[in-house]
Amino acid sequence: MSIINAPSLANCDFLTFGEQVKELVDGGAAWFHVDIMDGHYVPNLCFPVKVISELKKAYPEVLVDVHLMVTDPIAYIPQLKAQGTDYVSFHMDATNFSRRVIDMIHQQGMKAGVVLNPSQNISVLNPVLEYVDYVVVMTVEPGYAGQKFMSGSVERIEELIKVRTEGNYSFLISVDGGVDYPNALACARLGAEVYVTGNFTVFKQDLPLAEACRKFQKVMEEEQAKR
């Protein structure tokens, strides 16, 4: 599968949000990564669900990937469907009913993902791996944009890819947090597909956003082709 660039819209300048989103699309971004935080699961607030429908109205061809950082993920699922969400991931430690959440997401016609925090052992995913469409590996502690990629994260992704291969699973692997070129390239060599990009690759670069997106896609696909 081709590399998927999923820019995190939390990195946008909110005063020029619309213009920056257009630049991301012009640069070929295939997904929008939208963080929804409730101020409880993480000590931060981000994005009302309404932004999803506005994004889909303007750019229906781009997939919206919602990352729920909330204490009650089930409560959000009907709203996310109504707004036009394509992919939904949630933290398994935010609910006692992960299978129920996954089933509800699928029943609403959306793709379901689970999120692995840096402090969680990969084995916590074992009960759900055959049911999810993707796994988000947090390479920072969740809640804030702009953090640096945590040491040991590449090795965790390598371990998850081994689990996927040995179990003959088909879920995608998304890398989220502090994604920079050295670490992203290492993950591409291993076989991770989705990259939640931010300030180290796409935003706050010496290039316009669209050009930065095109550069990331090109560099990553060239590295993936070497596998």
- Exactly one of 38, 65, 133, 176 is catalytic; name it: 176
Answer whether 41's CB lies under 8 Å from 75's CB: no
Nearest by Cα to 35 from 66, 6, 5, 13: 66
| Annotation marks residue 176 as catalytic | yes
| Annotation marks residue 35 as catalytic | yes
3-state secondary structure of 188: helix
Distance between CA atoms of 220 and 215, rounded to whole angstroms? 8
CA angle, corner 192, sides to 22 and 5, nearest 5? 5
Q: Strands of 45-46's sheet, edge to edge?
A: 4-5, 194-196, 172-176, 134-138, 111-116, 87-91, 63-69, 31-38, 45-46
- Exactly one of 35, 38, 65, 133 is catalytic; name it: 35
Answer whether 147's CB lies under 8 Å from 185's CB: no
Kindly list the catalytic residues.
35, 176
